[in-house]
Amino acid sequence: KPGEQKHSKEPSSLQCMHLAVVACGDRLEETLIMLKSAVLFSNRRLCFHIFAEDSLKPEFEKKLKEWPSSYTKKFEYNIYPITFSVGNAQEWKKLFKPCAAQRLFLPVILKDVDSLLYVDTDVLFLRPIDDIWHILKEFNSTQLAAMAPEHEIPKIGWYSRFARHPYYGTTGVNSGVMLMNLTRIRNTQFKNSMIPSGLTWEEMLYPLYQKYKNYITWGDQDLLNIIFYFNPECLYVFPCQWNYRPDHCMYGSNCKGAEEEGVSILHGNRGVYHDDKQPTFKALYEVIRDFPFEDNLFQSLYYPLQSKFLDTVHTLCGRIPQVFLKQIEKTMKKVYENRVIVYLGANHRY
């Protein structure tokens, strides 16, 4: 049944691409739109791991059951309570945004899951998850997680200007999209600034927080930056088009990968889906939110998006609509090609 635990020894879960998200407070709609974007375009089966406050669980179950069967058959899901295995639960829950620190405990909680993509609630997929899932195969023998840089240009990056704690590389990394090999994370001894010997992931989390809690601004993201500062060989850095944020266009375009290939994953942090500061981001969110599942993707998603973008050309992000449209157009063409092939194959015998 939907919502029951699915163990990875089951054939369906072995074939799953595992996606985790943490939703607290008013993040129900954002999370559902994120999941919708994942289901619309992905090819392989999806396993959703939704961590939510108890009050949100029935809402998630109700909304997901309303989706048409042609889409619900593409995924299974489980909803988990918010839990922290070490330290003070209330401290963790209040760190940065409500419940955000839950992502730090995924390797401990999801013991049967080998690999996982974690995303924030304010993420939208503009191409199949299959494509970022393939990056797991690009990990070398020491890499166990992948994230994108926090910024491309150190002189305007937050960490390079303001951080009072160690951080990865020259600009730090952003944890809103994080690909993880959980098996490797569970089996690794991490170098750290507390004791000469290594610590497991679970052993390290609370002491690390206690040591740096007066110096961190962005909560769990800062802790991840500290971890990978001391263990840089463990991190694979993927390009900015896999975690494209307003910072990549609001100061002028500074994500070359998105200019060349288009945005692959949109990350609408700073609340831009819900105000008028970055109308290009808001337009994408609203079009995916309002898209009727069974409708024609070009007529009911792509063309309305083009129309909305015309009203954003006066903004810095709106001046480069091709960056936002390139990948989603390519993805929709593939969806239709696949459907045509399936349709022709099914009718070939007649």
Task: Determine which of 109-118, 248-257, 329-338 has the lowest per-residue pLDDT on average.
Answer: 329-338
Domain ranges of the chain: 17-238, 247-345
The per-residue pLDDT for 347 is 56
The per-residue pLDDT for 7 is 39
Find, among 134, 176, 8, the residue nearest to 76 by Cα. 8
The per-residue pLDDT for 213 is 86
The per-residue pLDDT for 345 is 60
Find, among 123, 129, 100, the residue nearest to 243 by Cα. 123
Read off φ and ψ for residue 194, nearest 5 degrees.
-110, -45
Residue 23's H or E segment, with its range, is strand 17-23
Cα dihedral 81, 87, 90, 93 sign? negative
* 308, 276 Cβ separation under 8 angstroms: no
Please report, rounded to a whole number, the percentage of residues in the chain having pLDDT higher than 70: 91
Per-chain mean pLDDT for the chain? 89
Gap between the terminal Cα atoms of the chain: 37
Express each pLDDT in 137-161 by its tens digit: 999 999 999 999 998 887 777 788 7
Please name every residue paired with 77 in a beta bridge, in sequence order, or none if there are none. Answer: 48
CATH number of 17-238: 3.90.550.10
Q: Kindly give the residue spans of alpha helices, DSSP state H, lying in the chain.
A: 11-14, 28-41, 57-65, 69-72, 89-94, 106-109, 129-133, 158-162, 182-187, 201-212, 220-230, 256-261, 279-290, 297, 303-309, 321-347
Question: pLDDT-based confidence at 10, cuts 50/70/90?
Answer: very low
| Cα three-residue angle 173-178-180, rounded to 5 degrees | 120
The per-residue pLDDT for 197 is 86
The per-residue pLDDT for 282 is 97
The per-residue pLDDT for 342 is 57
**Residue of higher predicted confidence among 344 and 164:** 164
CB-based contacts of 279: which residues, under 8 Å, 6+ apart?
A: 308, 311, 312, 315, 318
Q: Which two structure tokens, joined as six digits, stand for 34?
A: 């994120």
Read off φ and ψ for residue 99, nearest 5 degrees.
70, 0
How many CB atoms within 10 Å of residue 337? Answer: 10
Q: What is the pTM of this model?
A: 0.91
Round the CA-based radius of gyration of the chain to a whole number and report it: 20
Is residue 92 scored above 90 in pLDDT?
no
Query: Among all chains, which residue has been given the structure tokens 């973008």?
Result: 309
The per-residue pLDDT for 344 is 59
Find, among 24, 174, 166, the residue nearest to 92 by Cα. 24
d(CA 104, CA 154): 26
What average pLDDT does range 194-201 have in this prediction?
90
d(CA 65, CA 29): 15
d(CA 65, CA 192): 45
Express each pLDDT in 207-264 by its tens digit: 999 998 888 887 889 999 999 999 999 999 999 999 999 999 988 888 999 999 999 9
What average pLDDT does range 268-272 have in this prediction?
93
How many CB atoms within 10 Å of residue 28? Answer: 18
* 34, 124 Cβ separation under 8 angstroms: yes
Q: Which two structure tokens, joined as six digits, stand for 199?
A: 């610590």
